[in-house]
Amino acid sequence: MRDFSLSRRALLASGLAAGITASAGCLGFSDDTASEDTGIELTLSLARIDGPLRNRYVHERDDPDDTWDDQALDAALNDERYTTQHRRPFFASPDDPAYVLHEETYYQLGSVVVDEVTETHPVLRLFEAEGSTATPVDGSEDGALPDGDQRAVRVAHFAARARGNEGGYPVGLVQRGGYVYRSDAAREESELLAEDGPDYVTYRDTTYEVELTHEQFHEAVYRPTAEPVAGDPGRMEAILRATFVGARVSQADLSTDARRILTEARADGYSETHPFSDAYEELLRALDRRPFIDGNVRKDAGVQANEPEMIQYEDTYYERSLRVTDDPSE
């Protein structure tokens, strides 16, 4: 991805020099940037990815991803009418596409929104019980509740545990502060949703009061799509590189010291404390991580540090990660 951030030279050349002094602190151009960054440790790690990217991102038609909707896949490949509600049929998006190989043709799978529906679903929320003498029902995997209720308790527990704490919860599972019963089968089998259902459950040594509401949801309707993108493995590999791989690094373009750092990063990781050595800066430029060199390491580059990226070194792919920490020796 192209970096659109402006350097001091670019700002001066574009006639924005008058604003430099006023905005220097926000942009990380203050004169004491280096002193502010002293003590920051940057660790580079590379994890090898064996084989072609096709092994990771492309599924055979007869061996689809477990999360895919099989009926949606059949419909998309055969140009038949089919829709899913609320969930994307392949959990794919333009930024995270899915691919399948069918009859020697590679397809990119996705979906388009074709409608919206309004549904009412039960929502389970749990609240820590205070002083109740009622006998709770065991909501754990060892209890007698149906599987759907056990899942609901587990997810609602995440939300209950996070209230008032900084730990957070899995947003993809927790909705509206609890668990939403969308499955007809789970509703029919549920003991928690019954009129005489339990008022309290226990989970991981905590007793919770059960709250059930019926709430309205506006849900998208998706039509699955399958776009042919390649007819041979080589072109498919090129598509995957263009989609997922960032920097391409060649051994011939690196100095001996930079290659040594790269070797250590592939083994146990490599760390340096700012200000960095010339070799480390050379390697960071080759990896297109210039904010770690040209800006304030903590403020400008820290937001990129923990975002993993795939790179290619010679003919091998690696997952690249950078971690910024305070120097533990201080």
**Predicted confidence (pLDDT) at residue 288 exceeds the cutoff of 70:** yes
**Predicted confidence (pLDDT) at residue 3 exceeds the cutoff of 50:** no
Most confident region among 17-31, 164-178, 309-323 by mean pLDDT: 309-323
Specify the pLDDT at position 307: 59
Q: Which residue has the higher pLDDT, 304 or 246?
A: 246
Per residue in 33-79, pLDDT tens?
444 545 788 999 999 999 999 999 999 999 999 999 999 999 999 99
Instruction: Work out whether the CA dihedral 140, 143, 146, 149 comes out positive or negative.
Output: negative
| Residue whose entry in the numeric block shows the structure tokens 């002293």 | 38
Q: Where are the alpha helices (DSSP H) in 225-275?
A: 233-244, 256-267
Structure tokens that stand for 47 in this block: 């994890």
Specify the pLDDT at position 298: 63
| 280-293 average pLDDT score | 90
Specify the pLDDT at position 210: 96
Enter the DSSP assignment of 239.
Answer: H
Band (pLDDT 50/70/90 cuts) for residue 222 is very high
**Predicted confidence (pLDDT) at residue 18 exceeds the cutoff of 90:** no
Question: What percentage of the chain carries pLDDT values higher than 90?
Answer: 68
Of 121-135, 210-224, 298-312, least confident by mean pLDDT is: 298-312
Instruction: Please name the amino acid found at residue 24.
Output: A
Specify the pLDDT at position 164: 67
| 287-297 average pLDDT score | 78
Answer whether 212's CB lies under 8 Å from 122's CB.
yes
Cα–Cα distance measured from residue 129 to residue 267, given in angstroms and rounded to the nearest whole number = 50
Q: Tally Cβ neighbours within 10 Å of residue 192.
A: 25
Specify the pLDDT at position 108: 98
Cα–Cα distance measured from residue 89 to residue 68, given in angstroms and rounded to the nearest whole number = 6
pTM (2 d.p.):
0.74
CB-neighbour burial class of residue 219 (10 A; exposed 0-12, middle 13-18, buried 19+):
middle
Specify the pLDDT at position 86: 92
Specify the pLDDT at position 169: 67
| 19-44 average pLDDT score | 50
Band (pLDDT 50/70/90 cuts) for residue 24 is very low
Structure tokens that stand for 238 in this block: 């090129």
Domain boundaries, the chain: 38-51+243-326, 62-102+105-230
Per residue in 63-76, pLDDT tens?
999 999 999 999 99
Of 27-41, 145-159, 166-180, least confident by mean pLDDT is: 27-41
Specify the pLDDT at position 95: 84
Specify the pLDDT at position 301: 54
Mean pLDDT score of the chain: 84
